[in-house]
Amino acid sequence: MSDRTVSQSITHRHLVSLLPQATVLEAARIMTKANTGSVLIMDISGKLLGILTERDLMTRVVSKPLNPETTSVSAVMTPKPHCITPEMTVSNAVLIMIERGFRHLPITSAAGKVLGVFSVRDALPKEIGEAVSLAEFLDQAGSTLA
């Protein structure tokens, strides 16, 4: 396993976040625009309240079915997500993901400041990550056409 840290491995350096009263539709749009699989739900002071992921959208909104135009992100987010430090090794972060079934882990400083999100894609070498992205796109396109 690699000695790379999660801070060295994250591909999205900017935070994608919303306030808890934002709608699921807003979350889906911002995630699409930012080309990211999650959005952090934070209060006005920057405190992390939760995380909303692609999987949450599928299992907690679309499959119910809830109206994305009226459902708030706070109603369907994962509250108080498990966070990791920027110094954690990629291998340890991946172990947490495997053991707990996560695909995204917020990265926070010792003081609790949110620094970013480590995703399972960040653990992969660049070429594999691009291939996974292409495979996921083709799978989604096939599902849409079916």
Instruction: Tell me the per-residue pLDDT of 5-26, one tens digit each, with 9 for 90 and over.
Output: 888 888 767 889 999 999 999 9
How buried is residue 128: exposed, middle or buried, by Cβ count under 10 Å (0-12/13-18/19+)?
Answer: exposed
The answer to whether position 115 is within a domain reads yes
Q: How many domains does the chain have?
A: 1
DSSP conformation class of 124? S
Torsion angle defined by CA atoms of residues 114, 117, 123 and 125, in that order, rounded to the nearest 10 degrees: -110
pLDDT at 96 over 70: yes
pLDDT at 127 over 60: no
Burial pattern 9-36, b for ≥16 Cβ within 10 A else e, equals bbebeeebbbebebbbebbbebbeeeeb
pLDDT at 128 over 60: no
The answer to whether position 1 is within a domain reads no
For range 70-96, the mean pLDDT: 93
113 lies in which domain range?
A: 6-145
The answer to whether position 130 is within a domain reads yes
The model's pTM is 0.80
